[in-house]
Amino acid sequence: MIHLALLLLLPARAQVWTADMEDDDGGMLRGGETLQWEWGTPVARPLACHGGLRCWGTVLGGFYLNDAEDWIQLPGVDLASIGRPVLSGWHWYDIESGDAGWVEVDRGFGWETQDPVYGYPSGEGYAGASDGWEPFWVDLEGVADASQVRFVFRSNPAVANAGWFIDDLEISHGDVIPPSVVATVCPEDTDDIEGPYIVEAIVTDDVGVDGAWILWTVNGGTVVTSAMSVQEGDLYSGPVAGQDPGSTVEVWVEASDGLNVIEARDQACAFRVRLPPPTGLTGPSERIWGLTAPLSWNPPESRHDVEGYRVYRDGVPIMDTVEPEADAPLETGVQGFTVTALYEVGEGDPSDPFEVLAAVPTLDALDPMAGFQGDLLRVRMEGRFLLLVQDEARVQLGDGVKIASVDVRDVDVAYLTVAILYDARPGPRDLQLETGGLTVRRSEAFEVLGGADRPRLLDVQPDDLQQGEGATLTIRASEPFESVPEVTIGDEVVVDAVERTDAGDLRVEVAVPFTAALGPHPVEVDDGTRILGGLDVTVAPRVSGVSEGCPGCGARPGRGSLLAALLALLAVWRRR
C-alpha cells in the first residue's frame, strides 16, 4: 500500500465552512473589470445549478463577456489552525479556446495560480467543456484564511461561450479527497472464451491508494467484483473471467484511499466476447423471380473450428448448411440475409447483411376449395407472380383427382377442370403447379369430401325425343338450382332456352334436328362451378304412319311434325 502510515494519521472529513448558495450568495466577494460574476438562477446553459436553484456564474442570462478578467473571492474563514484544509465543490463550464478559468491563492506573496488536486484539463486552466457538473478539490495547505482564495475568469476579445458556474462549496480538513481513476484500458473484442481478460487503469490519490477493484457486468446482468493489483507506479490491472460467446462485458474501476471511495462509472468501457462472422456475403444484385436465391460467403478466421453455417432472413433462421453457400428460400419484396458460423463451441456473430429484391411465385387460393367424390368441377386458381402460359402450366392435386384441362386467363389466373374419382381418398390435398421451370406448392389447398352428399341430377322428363321434334324438358336435381345454369344434351340436341321454376327445377326448351344421332344423349348442367351429369335423353327415329284420329294419313307428316322440324333447323342455325 502507498503512504499507508500517512493515511492512518489523517482524520476523516471534518467540515470547516460550507455554502450551498441557496439562501444567500455564500458571502462571496466579486471584483474585476466587468463584474460579470453573478449569483442567482441561470436562465440559459447550464439548465440548472448543481444542488438547487441558485449558484454563481459568469453572466446568468447568456454568454460571458469578452476581453475581461473577473473574479469571486471566498469570505473570511480562519484556516491557520487547520492542519490540511481542502476546498471542494462542483462546477460546470463551457469555455471557448483562448479563454480560461482557474483558482488563485495568496500565501503572503501575492496572488498565485493554485492547481487543483489531479490538475487542470488544459495548460490554461479550466477550458473547453465539462461533462456536466463535475467535482473539484483544491489543497489549501499554508493558506491562513479563506479570503485568500478566489476563482478567476479571463476572456479574450474573440468568441464567447456559456461560461463557468460554481456551486456547493465546502472547506474541510482531513483526508477528504477520493482517489482518481483515469485512462481505463479495456481488452479488445476477442474470440477467446477461456479468458481471463486483463483490464488496466491509472489510479492515483493525493495521500495514497488503499485498494482498487474491477466492477463488471455481462450483458447488463449482476455486478461482479475482482481485485486489481499494482503493476508499476500508478498502473493497476485485474482480471475478468472468461465468458460465453455473444457476451458484452462492461467494466469500470472502483478505488479507495481507506476513507474515500470513488466508483469511476464515467470511465466505463466495454468489449465483446464473440465468435467471428463469415465475411463477403453476396447474392443476386438485381430483382429475382424464383423461390430461392443463391448466396455465398467467405469462411471466418478464428482459432475455433467451423462445423457449418446458419442462414437468417430478416433475423429469423431459415436453414443450415455445411458449405459456404446456399439456395436460400425467398419471400416477395426486399429481405435482408445474414449468415452465422456454427463453431464447435457455439454460434458466432452475424455477417454484414445482404439485401435481395424478389418476386416469388405464390399460390393464393382455389375457388372452390373442396369437392365431392364423383364431382366434375370448374376451379379458379389464383396467385401472384405465377407467369402462367397456356399449354405450359401443369397442375396436380394428388391421386384420384384428375386435372382435365388448364385454361389460362392471365399470368396469375387459370381455370381448372377437375374430375374427382369416386374412389378418391377423402381429405386435404396439396396443390402443385409447374410454371416457368419452377414447382410451386401450396399445402392443403383443396379438400376431397365424401360422395354421399354430392349434388346430382335426379330426373329428366321426358327422357325420350324423336328426330325433328321440339319439346320442353324438366330437370330435377338433389338440391334446388339457385340460378339458371348452362344445359347441354349431347352434341346435337339443341337447347333453345333454360329457365328456373319456383321449385328450383329447370325448364329446358329443346329441338332435335332430323339428323340427330339415334340413342342416348348425356344431360350436363354447368352452374359455373360444378358440372352435373348422370342422366341421358334418348333420341328415337321420327315415326311415320297414321296419326291418332287420322286414319289413312299414312306417311305424310302432320302439321305438328313439320313445325317441330322447322324449329329444330332454326335452332341449329342459331347455334352456328
**333: region left, alpha or beta (phi > 0 left; psi from -120 to 50 alpha):** left
Check if the beta carbon of residue 224 is closer than 8 Å to that of residue 196: no
Task: Judge whether 564 lies within some domain.
Answer: no
Amino acid letter, 341: A
pLDDT of residue 569: 44
Pairing relation of β-strands 494-500 and 316-321? Answer: unpaired
Cβ neighbours, 10 Å, residue 518: 11
The CATH number of whichever domain residue 108 belongs to comes to: 2.60.120.200
Per DSSP, which regions of 501-551 are E strands? 506-511, 519-526, 531-540
* DSSP symbol at 452: G
Residues 50 and 164 in one domain: yes
Residues 103 and 200 in one domain: no
Residues 411 and 369 in one domain: yes
Residues 93 and 16 in one domain: yes
pLDDT of residue 12: 60
Q: Digits of tens for pLDDT over the chain (576 positions)?
A: 333 333 334 456 689 999 999 999 999 999 999 999 999 999 989 999 999 999 999 999 999 999 999 999 999 999 999 989 999 999 999 999 999 999 999 999 999 999 999 999 999 999 999 999 999 999 999 999 999 999 999 999 999 999 999 999 999 998 999 999 988 899 999 999 999 999 999 999 998 999 999 999 999 999 999 999 999 999 999 999 999 999 999 999 999 999 999 999 988 999 999 999 999 999 999 999 999 999 999 999 999 999 999 999 999 999 999 999 999 999 999 999 999 999 999 999 999 999 999 999 999 999 999 999 999 999 999 999 999 999 999 999 999 999 999 999 999 999 999 999 999 999 999 999 999 999 999 999 999 999 999 999 999 999 999 999 999 999 999 999 999 999 999 999 999 999 999 999 999 999 999 999 999 999 999 999 999 999 999 999 988 643 343 333 333 343 344 444 444 444 444 444
pLDDT of residue 322: 97
How many helices (H) and strands (E) in the chain?
Answer: 2, 45
Q: How many angstroms separate the CA atoms of 234 and 240, rounded?
A: 20
State the residue for C-alpha cell 495568496.
Answer: 106
User: What radius of gyration, in Å, describes the C-alpha atoms of the chain?
Assistant: 49
Q: Which of 465, 8, 455, 489 is nearest to 257 (CA)?
A: 8
Residues 135 and 186 in one domain: no
Task: Judge whether 457 lies within some domain.
Answer: no
Q: Which residues contact 282 (CB under 8 A, 6 or more apart)?
A: 295, 296, 297, 354
Task: Judge whether 352 lies within some domain.
Answer: yes
Distances (CA, A) of 316 to 281, 312, 338, 339: 17, 5, 9, 11
State the residue for C-alpha cell 287420322.
Answer: 550
pLDDT of residue 4: 32
Task: Judge whether 517 lies within some domain.
Answer: yes
Residue after which a domain boundary falls, among 273, 308, 331: 273
Residues 188 and 259 in one domain: yes
Q: Which of 493, 528, 527 is nearest to 512 (CA)?
A: 493
Distances (CA, A) of 220 to 129, 197, 249, 250: 30, 18, 8, 8
Residues 14 and 153 in one domain: yes
Mapped onto helix, strand or coil, the DSSP state of residue 243 is: coil
Residue after which a domain boundary falls, among 344, 359, 374: 359
* CA atoms 287, 293, 294, 298: torsion sign: positive
Q: How many angstroms separate the CA atoms of 194 and 468, rounded?
A: 100
* Strands lying side by side in the sheet with 100-106: 29-32, 68-73, 149-155, 100-106, 111-114
Residues 162 and 213 in one domain: no
Amino acid letter, 565: A
Range of the domain at 353: 279-359
- Total count of domains within the chain: 5
* DSSP symbol at 505: -
Answer yes or no: pTM beyond 0.95: no
Cβ neighbours, 10 Å, residue 438: 15
336: β partners: 355
Check if the beta carbon of residue 571 is closer than 8 Å to that of residue 497: no
Task: Judge whether 563 lies within some domain.
Answer: no
Task: Judge whether 322 lies within some domain.
Answer: yes
Cell representation of residue 143: 493558506
Pairing relation of β-strands 370-372 and 438-449? Answer: parallel
Check if the beta carbon of residue 101 is closer than 8 Å to that of residue 95: yes
The CATH number of whichever domain residue 249 belongs to comes to: 2.60.40.10
Cell representation of residue 497: 332456352
Cell representation of residue 404: 382435365
Check if the beta carbon of residue 139 is closer than 8 Å to that of residue 205: no
Residues 496 and 352 in one domain: no
Q: Which residues contact 378 (CB under 8 A, 6 or more apart)?
A: 415, 416, 417, 418, 526, 528, 529, 530, 531
Burial of 209 (0-12, 13-18, 19+ CB in 10 A): buried
Residue after which a domain boundary falls, among 312, 328, 359: 359
Residues 196 and 158 in one domain: no
Mapped onto helix, strand or coil, the DSSP state of residue 273 is: strand
Task: Judge whether 516 lies within some domain.
Answer: yes
Distances (CA, A) of 186 to 163, 175, 270, 519: 34, 30, 7, 99
Residues 9 and 138 in one domain: yes
Q: How many angstroms separate the CA atoms of 304 and 345, rounded?
A: 7
138: β partners: 87
Residues 369 and 245 in one domain: no
